[in-house]
Amino acid sequence: MKKILYIYIISIIFLLAGFSVFAADYVKTTEFFISSSDIQISTATNNQFSIYIGDNISTITNPVKSFYFTISGVYTGGGSLEFKINSDPATSKIFTIPSVISPTPFEIIYKDDANKINPSSAGIYNYTFNVIPSGIIISGLGVKANLTHRYVPPSCPDGSSINEKVKTTEFFISSSDIQISTATNNQFSIYIGDNISTITNPVKSFYFTISGVYTGGGSLEFKINSDPATSKIFTIPSVISPTPFEIIYKDDANKINPSSAGIYNYTFNVIPSGIIISGLGVKANLTHRYVPPSCGGTYPAIGEIISPVFDTGAANGVTYNWVMASGTTPIIGGTKIRAQFATATTSTGPWDYLGSNCTNSTYYFDGPLDTSPKSEEIKCFSNHNNKRYFRYKAVLCSYNDCNTGGSNTPQIDDIIVNWSP
């Protein structure tokens, strides 16, 4: 004889899912241009820069997990290279530079062990980076910084429209598989899909990294769109043997400074004089602030409820026939519900929640409900039959992809399970 067990879910609405979806802190990395010089340097330089943090870091102890500078260029001579932040002796590190006669490329990674740069809340922070050479001459000095920090994520992945964010992206500009000794024009485009129209000066950092191997001696000039205002001419010391180089170029005239989303097209001009370049490569790095979109709705994407354990009372188990769900009001606005079914021979499980295709990734119903009850056959006979105990999992989705937060809440009034001894 068939028996019907009525299991009531009284007005389960999406408010049951009002918990925070994100339980752990997040981490992100951004990169900032600090400085570059198109003149040779043999004395101290002071390079002002700023960083921007738009995330919530106020509740985290020591949110900055990593902050370091990468300093590069070509040098001659021998001596030392000292770095400081804000001329603070506590931040000083002095790197020994071995003596060379021919121009020699270098790259040094500097981290301030005193943690001078260690913000504890969102905002703009201004600093000066001190570069102090002694006994050496540097050509093509370039400095960039890399920041990795923890932050408290908002209730949806990208935040809400009242909290500005910052991100770093990198673009390929050009590369050449032939040697270059004359001017080249390299067309490229950048794409911004974020809302930046309400932010003053959204671009926080935009710079090019130019690399390759050269012979000869002279200069290397860069421009954007052939505009003289963007020109920088870097002195290239004379070498006989092929010598690798890397130059960081930033247009101080800010030719590239979009104020709204879209595709922007430019030409990057590379103009060598007196040198031959092999393996020319150019990439660009953009860090910008933006206003994230709203979360898309009032409610979280999903809410779940797992029922208590139900006992059929049959020592040898039963056959499960069908499951029915109903709601008292129509489900509107693209919401839907899902359900899975689990059985066990003991009241303690284990519980394996399965859908209509006998897998953990499928569901019963998986769609909207209306005022008419919906029923589905409980399949997966080899998984469920002859088991005494059962329970279910109900998933309520505020939008029909069950990943996006919606503006409406689904509701289930009751679930009915039919079984036979």
Is the pLDDT score of 21 beyond 50? no
Beta bridge partners of 130: 46, 84
Q: Which of 395, 410, 406, 397 is nearest to 330 (CA)?
A: 410
Is there a single domain that holds both residue 240 and residue 321?
A: no
Q: Which of 133, 22, 40 is nearest to 80 (CA)?
A: 133
Is there a single domain that holds both residue 278 and residue 339?
A: no
DSSP-derived letter for residue 400 is T
Average pLDDT over residues 50-67: 88
- Residues 6+ positions from 280 with CB-CB distance below 8 Å: 174, 175, 176, 180, 184, 210, 211, 212, 270
Tell me what the pLDDT averaged over the chain comes to.
86
Is there a single domain that holds both residue 304 and residue 286?
A: no
Is there a single domain that holds both residue 101 and residue 223?
A: yes
Is there a single domain that holds both residue 11 and residue 32?
A: no
Q: What is the CATH number of the domain that holds 312?
A: 2.60.120
* Residue 174 banded pLDDT, cuts 50, 70, 90: very high
- What is each CA distance from 16 to 20, 173, 299, 409, in whole angstroms? 11, 50, 10, 10
Is there a single domain that holds both residue 215 and residue 331?
A: no
Distance CA 149, CA 123 (A): 14
- Residues 6+ positions from 23 with CB-CB distance below 8 Å: none
Is there a single domain that holds both residue 121 and residue 264?
A: yes
Residue with the bigger pLDDT between 2 and 112: it is 112
The boundaries of the domain holding residue 13 are 3-18+299-420
Of 247, 273, 290, the last residue of a domain is 290
Q: How does 319-358 read in b/e, with b if 16+ C-beta sit within 10 Å?
A: bbeebbbbbeeebeebbbbbbbbbbbeeeeeebbbbbbee
Average pLDDT over residues 108-124: 92
- What is each CA distance from 237 to 149, 178, 208, 219, in whole angstroms? 39, 22, 21, 8
Lowest mean pLDDT among 90-104, 161-175, 335-349: 161-175
Q: Which residue bears the tokens 């879910």?
A: 9
Of 240, 262, 290, the last residue of a domain is 290
Is there a single domain that holds both residue 145 and residue 33?
A: yes
* Residue 119 banded pLDDT, cuts 50, 70, 90: very high
Tell me if residue 47 falls in helix, strand or coil: strand
- Given a contact cutoff of 8 angstroms between Cβ atoms, the answer to whether 110 and 130 are in contact is no
Of 290, 325, 355, the last residue of a domain is 290
Average pLDDT over residues 110-118: 94
Is there a single domain that holds both residue 270 and residue 313?
A: no
Q: Which helix (H) or strand (E) is 383 found in, with range?
A: helix 381-384
Is there a single domain that holds both residue 246 and residue 323?
A: no
User: Over the stretch 380-401, which tens digit does the pLDDT of each residue have?
Assistant: 989 999 999 999 988 888 777 7
Is there a single domain that holds both residue 9 and residue 47?
A: no
- Rounded to whole angstroms, the maximal C-alpha distance in the chain is 99
Residue with the bigger pLDDT between 306 and 131: it is 131
Residue with the bigger pLDDT between 24 and 117: it is 117
Distance CA 186, CA 224 (A): 10
Is there a single domain that holds both residue 200 and residue 303?
A: no
User: What is the total count of domains within the chain?
Assistant: 2
